[in-house]
């Protein structure tokens, strides 16, 4: 009988449910011994009996299940068998024949032969499927025992012996070129059963493999390496120990003893003895390791320490099981069999105490054969003072050859080093640390000895369970691993399942949204870096999170009833004694307790109970559920105050300025036209009211301006001064610096000039610039205030998100068989991992969990954005914040508190909002250069005029107005130069630059609001024109978001069941349904029948995933009313759809019914069934082929097809779909014509996504995308240097809306999305997306024009002010500077106001322009990507293939399926588990 193994490639698997289905189905076939299916590798390894099955029949079996199977290897491999000899007890109740047949029924047992005396059975079995121990227990009621057959020396490969030892195999591997090759071999071979450890060396081109020969052979290992594409050959044939038959017999018998007796024997120290051997012939650490790993595997040996220096081996053994002589021969037989072993002459146990400490040192690695290639040493290190020392030690030592990992603890003054004993030893490591200047010593470790002694002396049974738990807790550590590349819950299940199998891993919990795995492991067996490597081997990215805290729980409690310090002490001391509480502090004054605890050992409820048991009342400190840290309230307040202060003082200043400008211009006219002398002008000037001097040199005008300017400078400009100081401190010059510089210099100069004039008692009033600061501050602070108001709105999104969280949870206690013992309401913060939570219909799920009992539909639109509810049954996962609809569920909490999916979405939104860097305004960038330039020009002007003045005083005398002869020439020059330089600074005042942006933005946002586009501040308005990619969500954005009936097909003759009657019956039946599809059908029927109410529905029954059944009555009145209306309308035959051609001839005009209903007629009762194919077949109705084809056609187009049956007759097919918005296609086409890339991103399945995309003309689609992946995709596009606009409407879109450069929310969407977005479209019209980008482009264009105005004015004004054009008589009088400044500002404001004329692009024009371009895309033009990877699935080639893939995706349980089920999946929403879809198993997880 030949057993073969074959690998089949399997296509079409989508989740773990498919894997389970294949394994169960194929595993049941006769002749199949074992099957292992891998979702990642897309293959199945099958071990089968070649007489009963062939590769072709196995492929056929796969095809029958709806999967595509290919032969990966045309030659099946022979499987090596193992044999075991079983002794049949003489008093057995069964005959030898019955025992044979009982054994052969088991998987893995290939053949059973009986000895002639019928007392011994030789069983041939497949070692990878079963082992000898399991074979012994296969016949119930018969106690079979393994017997020892006659063994000739040298043939000791019997499985029972070989189980006891591992063999080291060295292979020469050729063809490796890089480290990727080594990791490929290590990954592939390391996964094989029976391989304990593998290390591949690229430099030596060899592989060292530790394996168990009873599970895998050396040939097989070599073959697997060659299968990976490398050439492998044995360096040295592996040799097992060669012992005599008697020794073998003794060692075998040790194994047949019950495990308990062995344990007892091993646990009592009285029975163990120690022997010291002298060993000659050891050359290196490899020999030491070889002896240690081989001898420690013997059951009679408790520990062994081999010393290369002392040429000795100290062996602790059980004399009841073996003797010194047997051990000596065992050591001599160790490969390469060249060791000479002898007992020292003065063999004296008195020497032993000195050796015991080394023997008993905790080196579990020796006893554990699974890790012979690395060892761990703990070195005591003194002299470390800070973390810098820790890092330098770790850095230097980790670089040493042979060091795998190092962890240095500053607090414990030690370092744990994992090293390869083949390459280094503890002494080398110790001296290396000493060379760095630290004191290092290897520990003597007396403490474990005491512990060992105490353990050995007390019998195992007396150890308390609590003590054992503590012992285990000490050996269990916890680490967190950041995992990337997970797309759905099946990835989570895959990681959890594979890692649980690994040695040393106690438990693992993976959070999908957080991308984090929490692993509890035994540090003696495995390390965090190895755990991360295991995850990477599964195809995910993994890094160990160093500073993730230890996951300590923190609890804030209010404790009532404390009276004095002794109460405080009582609580603190009791809590600190409680196992699992790490820290506790109680404050009597505030009645608060702060407690840190380990959530693995104790939970918040337990802590509260401890305090309550002490006689105090206690409750949780209520957490602030709002996002107050992001609301910008303080900034809004300060800028508002700044604006109001500036405005109050600015209005009178502006009034005075305008008055003076008018008067000055009149005077200059008078001077030119009436030939007034300068003296007359001076007299007239000083006679003006505002020029009246209160004191000599101090006019009313200047005095009032000064009084109005001081408060603005102090209070209005306060924040500008702070910001400017910060900017200068960081060596940058921004808008604030320029504003502060201009206002301060204008104010200080004006004040100094005024004081000088007063000191000189000048007759002519000096020109001051007191009007500059108030005007500047008003405009700037208004802009800042509005900007912060818009920003503040975003935090409301978080407050809304947080409010979705349930506040309380019902925790239940279950007895045996899930009997409900008690239930209590607790605060959601008190729910612990592992709690059983009950969720009633209509309730919110308080935490993430797994269903353990109950069936229900759950609304998960919160996360997936899809309107269809999802079926939940035991084993499915549920999300916090989603709403339970119709059944009560019991769930086991898996993620609580900050780990729930909802908390992660809150965190995503928060991070996206806080990390979004504000776009540096163009003005800021400009002022970065502008400020230093203007200051430089001003300084140059000052010195230039001082030099010119001293060289040629006449120029200054000629042009310096109000020159007083009484002043010295030098002073005149200085004052003239200073005035010129100040004029430069003031005329270059950035007022117009500052206004260029805010005014245009204010007008732009106002115009947007009038057009139904709310833009939050200038940032998004300015950003939108730079957008290169527009990403659309599907549900509710491109589509309406609610299902609608798109087509009704009648399957019976009109005279059997008139159209209206059928609509009335179906509408009435669905009126009791809460399912969106039912609601859509009722709505459609009411609209068609033009009726507000329908008939009566009784005996209503819902079967989630299938359909409904009920009885319908009282529809006659409704039909009678309708008929009358129809007659009046000349029997308008309104048929919604074209009926199949071959049926059309036989269909009568739809409404031929009797005009009057006899009054005496009693109401008929109709029995109605509505649902999917499976529902119909369950109820004994046959679905014809043409109906099936029609349904499949609808499903291919992404619709949901429902069948309706009345009184046992199929009478209608209703197609329902989430329809595309009418303007969507035009919007997409217009955006493309504007040069933008358009992408569709949805959580829905690829089928529906492709269908919708083809209707609107989008060619790039990302389907089945999680909320966190939407963020990642947006980030990915941004990293490519593209600016992204995201258009969405759901909570699941909010993180992406916040992350995008411009988030655009549909006004009919959720509050959270609206708050997270930068732009909100009030109308539910996608053409407004086009309008918002268009408006942004126009606004930015306007801002640029404004900058041109402002810059031209500065470029012309500054040289004139600096006096460059003095020689040609062009002098800038100070009043002209003010006028020019005002003119510049006014021109900028007027330019911005021109935006008010903006008109939205009209759909008619756009339609006319896009007429030739708009067309539906063919499926081959659309690339659909699953998740966020860039490799698309390509175009669909075969509809049959699509059906198979979708069938496998749904993986409907084969129990319910008939041949037709291949098509029964509703392709529009397969992962939405509508009522019309079969039981979807694990695919619920995929929907997550």
Catalytic residue set: 1033
Question: 1214-1229 as b/e, with b when 16 or more CB fall inside 10 Å?
Answer: bbbbbbbbebbbbbbb
CA–CA distance, 1 with 489 (Å, rounded to integer): 42
Q: Which of these, 1122, 1053, 1066, lies nearest to 1090 by C-alpha position?
A: 1122
The pairs formed by 872-877 with CB atoms below 8 angstroms and a separation of 24 or more are: 872/1484, 873/1479, 875/850, 875/851, 875/1482, 876/850, 876/851, 876/1482, 876/1484, 876/1485, 877/489, 877/848, 877/849, 877/850, 877/851, 877/1484, 877/1485, 877/1488
By the 8 A CB rule, do 174 and 205 touch? Answer: yes
CA–CA distance, 428 with 396 (Å, rounded to integer): 13
Question: ∠ at Cα 169 (168, 171), nearest 5°?
Answer: 150
- DSSP class of 443: -
Compute the radius of gyration of the chain from its Cα atoms: 43
Question: What does DSSP say about strands 1302-1306 and 1319-1321: parallel, antiparallel, or unpaired?
Answer: parallel
The contacts of residue 752 (CB under 8 Å, 6+ apart) are none
Residue 194's Cα: distance from chain center in Å? 36
Q: Which helix (H) or strand (E) holds 221?
A: helix 218-227
Q: What is the crossing angle of helices 1327-1362 and 1374-1393, to 10°?
A: 170
Burial degree of 1020 (CB within 10 A; 0-12, 13-18, 19+): buried
CA–CA distance, 1424 with 1436 (Å, rounded to integer): 10
- DSSP class of 1148: P
CA–CA distance, 968 with 563 (Å, rounded to integer): 85
- Start-to-end Cα distance in the chain: 48
Two tokens at 1420?
Answer: 């081959």
Question: ∠ at Cα 1331 (1330, 1337), nearest 5°?
Answer: 95
The contacts of residue 1159 (CB under 8 Å, 6+ apart) are none
- 3-state secondary structure (DSSP) of residue 157: coil
Residue 770, Cβ neighbours under 10 Å: how many? 26
- Where in 230-358 does DSSP place strands (E)? 231-236, 273-280, 301-307, 312-317, 340-342
Is the dihedral angle over the CA atoms 463, 466, 469, 471 positive or is it negative?
A: negative
By the 8 A CB rule, do 1335 and 1007 touch? Answer: yes
CA–CA distance, 1122 with 1144 (Å, rounded to integer): 24
CA–CA distance, 993 with 929 (Å, rounded to integer): 13
Q: Where are the alpha helices (DSSP H) in 426-553?
A: 426-435, 447-457, 465-475, 489-500, 528-537
CA–CA distance, 33 with 371 (Å, rounded to integer): 31
Q: Which helix (H) or strand (E) holds 672?
A: helix 633-673
CA–CA distance, 896 with 903 (Å, rounded to integer): 9
CA separation (Å) from 481 to 405, 510, 517, 541?
17, 9, 5, 10
Q: Which of these, 1019, 1081, 1077, lies nearest to 1317 by C-alpha position?
A: 1019
């Amino acid at each position: 009988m030949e057993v073969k193994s074959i690998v089949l490639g399997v296509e079409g698997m989508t989740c773990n449910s498919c894997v389970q289905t294949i394994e169960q189905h194929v595993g049941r076939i006769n002749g199949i011994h074992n099957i292992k299916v891998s979702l990642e590798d897309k293959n199945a390894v099958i071990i089968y009996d070649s007489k009963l099955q062939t590769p072709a029949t196995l492929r056929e079996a796969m095809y029958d299940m709806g999967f595509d199977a290919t032969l990966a290897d045309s030659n099946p491999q022979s499987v090596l068998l193992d044999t075991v000899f079983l002794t049949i007890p003489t008093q057995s109740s069964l005959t030898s024949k019955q025992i044979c047949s009982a054994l052969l029924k088991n998987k893995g047992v290939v053949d059973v032969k009986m000895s002639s005396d019928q007392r011994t059975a030789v069983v041939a079995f497949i070692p990878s499927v079963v082992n000898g121990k399991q074979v012994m227990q296969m016949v119930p009621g018969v106690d079979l025992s393994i017997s020892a057959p006659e063994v000739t020396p040298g043939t000791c490969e019997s499985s029972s012996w070989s189980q006891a030892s591992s063999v080291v195999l060295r292979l020469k591997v050729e063809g490796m070129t890089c480290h990727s090759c080594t990791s490929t071999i290590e990954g592939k071979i390391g996964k094989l059963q029976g391989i304990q450890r593998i290390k591949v060396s690229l430099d030596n081109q060899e592989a060292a493999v530790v394996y168990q020969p009873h599970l895998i052979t050396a040939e097989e290992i070599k073959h697997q390496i060659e299968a990976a594409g490398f050439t492998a050959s044995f360096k040295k044939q592996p040799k097992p120990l060669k012992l005599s038959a008697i020794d073998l017999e003794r060692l075998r018998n040790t194994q047949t003893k019950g495990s308990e007796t062995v344990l007892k024997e091993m646990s009592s120290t009285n029975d163990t003895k120690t022997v010291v051997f002298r060993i000659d012939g050891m050359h290196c650490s490899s020999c030491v390791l070889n002896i240690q790993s081989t001898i420690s595997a013997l059951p009679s040996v408790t520990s062994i320490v081999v010393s290369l220096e002392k040429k000795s081996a100290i062996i602790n053994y059980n004399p009841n099981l073996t003797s010194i002589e047997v051990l000596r021969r065992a050591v001599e037989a160790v490969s390469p069999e060249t060791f000479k072993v002898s007992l020292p002459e003065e063999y004296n146990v008195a020497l032993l105490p000195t050796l015991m400490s080394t023997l008993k040192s905790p080196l579990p690695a020796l006893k554990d054969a699974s890790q012979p290639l690395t060892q761990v040493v703990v070195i005591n290190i003194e002299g470390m003072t800070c973390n810098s020392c820790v890092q330098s030690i770790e850095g230097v030592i980790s670089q040493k050859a042979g060091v795998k990992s190092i962890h240095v603890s500053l607090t414990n003054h030690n370092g744990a080093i994992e090293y390869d004993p083949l390459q280094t030893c503890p002494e080398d490591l110790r001296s290396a640390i000493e060379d760095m200047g630290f004191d290092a010593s290897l520990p003597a470790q007396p403490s474990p000895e005491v512990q060992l002694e105490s353990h050995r002396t007390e019998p195992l049974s007396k150890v308390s369970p609590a003590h054992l738990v503590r012992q285990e807790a000490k050996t269990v550590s916890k680490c967190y691993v950041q995992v990337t590349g997970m797309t759905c819950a099946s990835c989570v299940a895959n990681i959890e399942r594979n890692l649980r199998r690994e040695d040393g891993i106690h438990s693992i919990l993976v959070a999908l949204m957080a991308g984090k795995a929490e692993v509890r492991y035994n540090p003696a067996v495995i390390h965090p870096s190895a755990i991360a490597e295991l995850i990477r081997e599964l195809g995910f990215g993994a890094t160990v999170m160093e500073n993730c805290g230890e996951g300590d729980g923190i609890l804030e409690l209010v404790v009532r009833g404390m009276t004095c310090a002794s109460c405080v002490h009582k609580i603190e001391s009791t809590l600190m004694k409680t196992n699992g509480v790490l820290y506790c502090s109680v404050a009597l004054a505030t009645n608060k307790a702060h407690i840190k605890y380990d959530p693995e050992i104790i939970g918040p409820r337990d802590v509260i109970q401890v305090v309550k048991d002490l006689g105090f009342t206690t409750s949780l400190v209520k957490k602030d559920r709002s996002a107050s840290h992001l609301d910008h309230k303080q900034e809004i307040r300060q800028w508002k105050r700044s604006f109001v202060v500036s405005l109050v003082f600015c209005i009178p200043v502006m009034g005075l300025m305008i008055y003076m400008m008018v008067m000055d211009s009149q005077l200059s006219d008078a001077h030119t036209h009436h030939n007034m002398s300068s003296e007359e002008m001076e007299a007239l000037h000083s006679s003006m009211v505002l020029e009246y001097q209160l004191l000599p040199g101090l006019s009313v005008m200047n005095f009032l301006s000064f009084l109005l300017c001081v408060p603005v400078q102090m209070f209005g400009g306060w924040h500008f001064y702070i910001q400017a100081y910060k900017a200068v401190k960081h060596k940058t010059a921004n808008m604030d610096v320029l504003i502060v510089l201009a206002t301060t210099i204008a104010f200080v100069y004006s004040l100094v000039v005024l004081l000088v004039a007063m000191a000189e008692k000048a007759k002519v009033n000096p020109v001051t610039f007191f009007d500059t600061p108030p005007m500047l501050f008003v405009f700037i602070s208004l802009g800042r205030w509005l900007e912060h108001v818009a920003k503040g709105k975003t935090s409301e999104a978080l407050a809304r998100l947080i409010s979705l969280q349930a506040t309380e949870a019902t925790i239940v206690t279950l007895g045996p068989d899930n009997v409900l013992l008690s239930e209590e309401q607790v605060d959601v913060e008190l729910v612990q991992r592992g709690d059983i939570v009950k969720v009633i219909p209509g309730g919110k799920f308080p935490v993430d969990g797994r269903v353990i009992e109950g069936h229900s539909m759950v609304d998960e639109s919160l996360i997936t954005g899809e309107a269809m509810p999802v079926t939940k049954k035991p084993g499915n996962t549920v999300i916090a914040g989603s709403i339970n609809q119709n059944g009560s569920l019991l769930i086991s909490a898996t993620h609580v508190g900050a780990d729930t999916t909802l908390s992660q979405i809150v965190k995503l939104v928060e991070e996206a909002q806080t990390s979004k860097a504000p776009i540096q305004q163009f003005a800021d960038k400009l002022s970065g250069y502008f400020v230093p330039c203007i200051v430089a020009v001003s300084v140059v002007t000052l010195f230039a005029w001082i030099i010119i003045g001293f060289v040629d005083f006449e120029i200054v005398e000629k042009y310096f107005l109000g020159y007083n002869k009484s002043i010295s020439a030098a002073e005149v020059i200085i004052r003239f130069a200073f005035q010129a330089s100040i004029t430069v600074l003031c005329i270059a005042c950035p007022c117009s630059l500052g206004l260029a942006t805010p005014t245009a933005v204010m007008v732009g946002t106002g115009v947007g609001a009038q057009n139904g586009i709310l833009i939050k501040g200038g940032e998004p308005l300015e950003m939108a024109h730079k957008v290169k990619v527009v990403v659309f969500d599907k549900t509710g954005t491109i589509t309406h978001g609610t299902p609608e009936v798109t087509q009704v097909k009648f399957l019976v003759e009109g005279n059997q069941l008139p159209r209206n009657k059928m609509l009335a019956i179906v509408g009435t039946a669905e009126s009791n349904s809460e399912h969106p599809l039912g609601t859509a059908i009722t709505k459609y029927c009411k609209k068609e029948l033009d009726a507000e109410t329908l008939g009566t529905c009784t005996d209503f029954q819902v079967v989630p995933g299938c359909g409904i059944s009920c009885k319908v009555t009282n529809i006659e009145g409704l039909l009678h009313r309708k008929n009358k209306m129809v007659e009046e309308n000349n029997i308008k035959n309104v048929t919604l759809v074209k009926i199949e051609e071959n049926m059309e001839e036989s269909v009568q005009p739809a409404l031929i019914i009797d005009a009057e209903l006899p009054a005496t007629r009693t109401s008929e009762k109709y029995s109605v069934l509505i649902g999917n194919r499976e529902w119909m077949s369950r109820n004994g109705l046959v679905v014809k082929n043409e109906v099936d084809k029609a349904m499949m056609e609808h499903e291919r187009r992404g619709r949901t097809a429902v069948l309706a049956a009345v009184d046992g007759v199929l009478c209608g097919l209703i197609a329902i779909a989430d329809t595309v918005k009418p303007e969507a296609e035009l919007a997409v086409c217009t955006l493309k014509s504007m040069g933008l890339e358009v992408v569709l991103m949805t959580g829905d399945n690829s089928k529906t996504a492709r269908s919708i995309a083809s209707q609107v003309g989008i060619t790039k689609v990302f389907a089945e995308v999680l909320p966190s992946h939407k963020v990642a995709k947006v980030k990915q596009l941004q990293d490519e240097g593209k600016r992204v606009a995201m258009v969405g409407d759901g909570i699941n879109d909010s993180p992406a809306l916040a992350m995008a450069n411009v988030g655009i929310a549909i006004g009919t969407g959720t509050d959270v999305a609206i708050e997270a977005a930068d732009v909100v479209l009030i109308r539910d019209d996608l053409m407004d997306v086009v309008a918002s980008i268009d408006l942004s482009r126009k606004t930015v264009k306007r801002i640029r024009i404004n900058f041109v105005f402002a810059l031209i004015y500065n470029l012309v004004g500054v040289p004139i002010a600096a006096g460059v054009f003095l020689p040609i008589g062009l002098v800038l009088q100070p009043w002209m500077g003010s006028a020019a400044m005002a003119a510049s500002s006014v021109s900028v404001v007027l330019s911005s106001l021109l935006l008010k004329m903006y008109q939205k692009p009209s759909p008619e024009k756009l339609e006319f322009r896009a007429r030739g371009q708009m067309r539906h895309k063919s499926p081959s033009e659309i690339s659909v990507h699953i998740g966020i990877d860039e490799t698309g699935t390509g175009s669909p080639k075969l509809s049959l293939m699509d059906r198979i893939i979708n069938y496998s995706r749904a993986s409907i349980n084969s129990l319910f399926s008939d041949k037709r089920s291949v098509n029964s999946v509703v392709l529009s929403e397969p992962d939405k588990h509508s009522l019309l879809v079969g039981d979807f198993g694990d695919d619920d997880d995929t929907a997550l």
